[in-house]
A and B are shown apart, each in its own frame.
Chain A
Amino acid sequence: MPRVKIARKSTATDMTAMCDVAFLLLTFFIMTSKFKADDPVPVAIPSYTKTIVLPEENTATLTVGSGKVYFSVEGDKIRGMMLDEVGKIYQQTFTPQEKAMFITLPSFGMDITQLKPYLDALIQEPEKAKTMVQPGIPTDSVSAQLFNWVKQARTADVVLNHKALIICIKGDRKEEYPTIGKIIAILQKQKVNKFSLITATKGGL
């Protein structure tokens, strides 16, 4: 009796569909991922054991390093409205080009009077202006610039999104406490008693 022969099948499979799916997913991830913006000052964040994940939207970050404070807020519309309102307070008007340039800035830190020349420089000579060191937002209570930036950002978020802005502080480990204390005082002045400190998660104890 002849033995039943098992037909040998080719091991080569059709990978077209798999390849399609793989590239579809790849495209999706590339398009949805956002690259982290560089900090204006090098900041080494402290670590904490029980961290929570921050939402990606609806946040404003105060970056603190070397005694300087930088401010950034998520959302183009909020940025635009914030710039208009703060400009009104300090009698500064911005052209549509300057406003568009401001919206693209990841974070900024300078006196409001220096902002207009800086934005102009960015429009005209972007390469040269990018290397300029930003001196930080003044934190004194006389001009109250940081106070107003934060306040207008919060107002804009309430008007546009009907949400309460989450204020985050991203501080450098070696930053001396007075700088942080000053910022906390500015926030508490506008009744922001709850905020988030950006920290890394501490590994195994």
Chain B
Amino acid sequence: MAELNTGGGGGGHKGGKVRSKKSSTRVDLTAMVDLAFLLITFFMLTTTLLKPKAMDLTMPDKDEKNDQLPVPATRTMTILLGANDKVEWFIGVPGDTPPTTDHFGKDGLRKALIENSKKIKDSHGGQDMIVLVSPSDHSNYNDLVSALDEMSITGIERHAIVAITAPEIELLKRDGNY
């Protein structure tokens, strides 16, 4: 590829006139093209990869209290987000069933969600489980996103973020997750 300019290297002027050598005007562009394409690749990749990604979050409308349908408590699963990345979940209203302390991950919350969803579907004639996520004041933002992520992984479409209630805080306190 590279062209070497040989010929007329020297020793050509034996007593004669010193002639200025006519050099070719062609420049080897290989390196320049290489560099240009390298930079193109860099800019292409960085512009498309840095686009911010997001998840959509829809909160229940606070004002429309009239058209809410009563839902049997037995169809709901409440997830309490406690301190130190711990979660507690129970079915129904607090006190109905003993809460289970769990952790995030494949064998923790996800397993519980899949099992409960199946159980509730079987016992309620195919109706979906409703999941309520209650973040406590000591939980962090990552827990909230992780909990919502588990919903999307397990395909639970009916879920909402609700404010934590006093009996639920008591439960967390009792189990040392607050």
Contacts and interface: CB of A to CB of B under 8 A. Distances in A.
Interface of A: 11-12, 15-16, 18-19, 22-23, 25-26, 29-30, 32-33, 36, 46-54, 56, 64, 168, 171-178, 180-181, 184, 188, 191, 193-202, 205
Main secondary structure of the interface of B (DSSP, over half): mixed
A26 B40 contact: yes
Given A29-B43, A50-B152, A18 B33 contact: yes
11 contacts: A29-B47, A33-B43, A54-B51, A171-B141, A176-B141, A177-B135, A177-B138, A193-B58, A193-B59, A199-B54, A205-B153
A133 to B, nearest CB: 22
Given A23-B36, A196-B55, A197-B54, A180 B144 contact: yes
B57 A15 contact: no
Q: Which of B29, B53, B148 has the most CB of A within 10 A?
A: B53
Contacts of A52: 53-56
B52 A54 contact: yes
Interface in B1-55: 1, 3, 28-30, 32-33, 36-37, 39-40, 43-44, 46-47, 50-55
Given A36-B50, A181-B135, A173 B36 contact: no
B146 interface: yes
Contacts of B56: 52, 194-196
Nearest to B44: A29
Given A51-B54, A199-B55, A175 B141 contact: yes
Given A15-B29, A176-B138, 11 more contacts: A33-B46, A46-B146, A51-B53, A53-B51, A168-B52, A176-B141, A188-B62, A191-B63, A193-B60, A194-B56, A195-B56
B97 interface: no
Contacts of A197: 54-55, 57, 145
Nearest to B142: A173
B54 A180 contact: no
Nearest to A169: B57
Given A173-B141, A177-B137, A25 B54 contact: no
A131 B111 CA distance: 48
Given A22-B37, A29-B43, A46 B145 contact: yes
Nearest to B134: A177
Contacts of B141: 46, 64, 171-177, 180
Contacts of A193: 58-61
B36 A198 contact: no
B81 interface: yes
Interface in B87-121: none
B20 to A, nearest CB: 25
